Amino acid sequence: MENTLKNNKTIAIFMGGKFDKDTSFKISENFIWLPYHNLCRYDTIDYGKGKILKYHKSWDWLMPVYRKIKDILNSYSKDDKHTRTNFDLLEVDINMAICEVNLYKTYNSIVKFIEYYNKN
């Protein structure tokens, strides 16, 4: 569960999520504001605690992330072979998981891409 919370938070930040210090309005502790989903808790994956991040269990939440990744990949020049090769390999993982209609694999492949992207 802890890994899922960390991964969901990583995805939320990648998708433009904002915490209280980044906004002009007050957000309660453990909440994040997302452009697509508004205000959500990021510290739980349990029901009954308000709107929560659902990247790990919803195609509706995960597909906008995939579209953002595709936009990033399209922006990289073919001349930047090293970066492009690594991104292409990660993209293949994501595409294969989507083709298998496997949410768990897609989610993990997307997290792997974001972690690599953030480091580089």
Q: What is the pLDDT of residues 14-49, one digit of tens each?
A: 999 987 765 566 778 888 889 888 899 988 888 777
On whether both 95 and 81 belong to a single domain, the answer is yes
On whether both 30 and 17 belong to a single domain, the answer is yes
On whether both 50 and 4 belong to a single domain, the answer is yes
Choosing from 32, 57, 82, the residue where a domain stops is 57
On whether both 62 and 115 belong to a single domain, the answer is yes
On whether both 47 and 66 belong to a single domain, the answer is no
On whether both 20 and 5 belong to a single domain, the answer is yes
On whether both 116 and 65 belong to a single domain, the answer is yes
Residue 58 has pLDDT above 70, yes or no: yes
| Per-residue confidence band for 83, with pLDDT thresholds at 50, 70 and 90 | low
Q: From the CB of residue 4, how many other CB atoms can be counted at a distance below 10 Å?
A: 15
| CA separation for the pair 28, 49 (Å, rounded) | 13
In terms of Cα–Cα distance, which of 66, 19, 65 is closest to 40? 19
On whether both 62 and 118 belong to a single domain, the answer is yes
| Count of domains for the chain | 2
Residue range of the domain that includes 40: 1-57
Is the pTM higher than 0.75? The answer reads: yes
Q: What percent of the chain has pLDDT over 70?
A: 88
On whether both 12 and 53 belong to a single domain, the answer is yes
SS3 of the chain: CHHHHHHHHHHHHHCCCECHHHCCCCCCCCEEEECCCEEEECCCCCCCCCCECCCCCCHHHHHHHHHHHHHHHHHCCCCCHHHHHHHHHHHHHHHHHHHCCCHHHHHHHHHHHHHHHHHC
| CA separation for the pair 84, 35 (Å, rounded) | 28
On whether both 83 and 97 belong to a single domain, the answer is yes
